[in-house]
Amino acid sequence: MTGEPILEVRDLCVDYGLGDRAVRAITDASLTLRRGEVLGLAGESGSGKSTLAYALTRLLRAPGVITGGEVRFHGRDGSLDLLAADAAELRRVRWNQISVVFQSAMHALNPVARIDAQLTDALRAHRAGPTAAQRTERAAELLRLVGISADRLHSYPHELSGGMRQRVMIAMALALDPEIVVMDEPTTALDVVTQREILTELLRLKDALGFAIVFITHDLSLLVELADTIAIMYAGRLLERAPARALFEGPRHPYTAGLLDSFPALHGERVRMEGIPGSPPALTALPTGCSFHPRCAFALERCAVDFPPTTVPAGDSAGRLAACWLHGGGRELPAPLARSLGRNL
C-alpha cells in the first residue's frame, strides 16, 4: 500500500569539484517517493546511486556540490525544501524523520562500545526528554523489533554475527520512528540466506511502522520482491522508472534489459545470460548523446549526438518513464529488443 508523495525530487544536479574542473555526477534526476513505498535505485557501480541518495538527504560531502534542482520533503510536521534548509532544520529532520543505513553499515558500529550504549547514544543525541531507564527500555524494544533478543544489549559488536550487526544498524535507523529510511546496499556483505531474512524482516517492519524506503543496490534481482517502484541509473542519469513487476516483465530501456539479462531467470528454461558488453564510462569522459550508446546494440545515428528526452513509452501508462530514442515518433522496436522487452521471468 503506498500513498501520498513524501519526497519529491525535481531536476537534481550534482557536481564533484568546482569551476572548470567540475565533473557532473548527477544530471536532472527527478523522482517521487510515496508514503509506505519501497523505491529501488539500481544500476552498475559508479552510476550515481549513492551520490543521488546522499544529495537528497543533504549528506553529500565535499567535493560533492548540489548545483541545481529541488528536493521537497512532505513530513508529518509540514513540507520542507531540503536544499534550502538551514542546519537547525536539517538536524530536526535527520534521524527523526529521515534516517540512513550506510554502505557497510555493520562495520560502522563502535567496536569498543556495547550495543546498549550505542543505541541509547543515538536516542540521547536526537531526542531530549526520555530518562536513561526509558532509553534503555526503548533500546531493548528496538532490538526485539529487528528480531534480536534484548539479552544482546550487553554484547559488544564482535560478539554478534554479521547479520545481527546489520540488524542493529537497522534498529538504530528506526530508533526515532522515521518516515523515510534510505538504505545504501545494506545487505551486500551478507550471505544470501541472511540477506533474505533481513529483507523479509525489513518489509514486515515497513508494513507495521509505515515508513517509506529508498533502497539502493547494484543487484537488480534483489528488488524483484522488495520494491514497489524501480528507477534505473546509468552515468548519473535516471534512464527508466516503472512499477517493479512491470519493469521485470517488460523493460523499456536497453540498459534495463541488459541488467536483467545479467542474472538468471527465476522460472522457465535456463538460458545463456548475455549481460552488457563493455564498462560504464568515467564521469570525466562521458560519451556524447546517450551515454549508453557505445554499449547499446540498438543505437541509432542520433543516439551519439543527442541525449533522449524522458517520455512515457507508447502503450504505457504515466507510471512508466524511459529515456531512449527507440520510444520516439511511433517507431517500431527492433525485433531482438522487442523480444527482450517482452520476455517473462
Q: Which residues contact ligand SF4 (rule: CB under 6 A)?
A: 254-255, 290, 292-293, 296, 298-300, 303, 308, 324-326
SS3 8: strand
Q: Of 135 and 237, which has the nearer Cβ to ligand SF4?
A: 237
Cell of 195: 540477506
Cell of 114: 556495547
Burial of 324 (0-12, 13-18, 19+ CB in 10 A): buried
Q: Of 150 and 299, which has the nearer Cβ to ligand SF4?
A: 299
Q: Of 179 and 240, which has the nearer Cβ to ligand SF4?
A: 240
The amino acid occupying position 219 is D
CB of 318 to ligand SF4, least distance (A): 20
Q: Of 95 and 307, which has the nearer Cβ to ligand SF4?
A: 307
CB of 262 to ligand SF4, least distance (A): 16
Cell of 302: 542520433
CB of 214 to ligand SF4, least distance (A): 25
In this structure, the number of other CB atoms found within 10 A of the CB of residue 87 comes to 8
Closest CA to 317 of 226, 239, 243, 229: 243
Q: Of 19 and 330, which has the nearer Cβ to ligand SF4?
A: 330
SS3 241: strand
List beta partners, residue 16: 23, 64
CB of 57 to ligand SF4, least distance (A): 29
CB of 68 to ligand SF4, least distance (A): 23
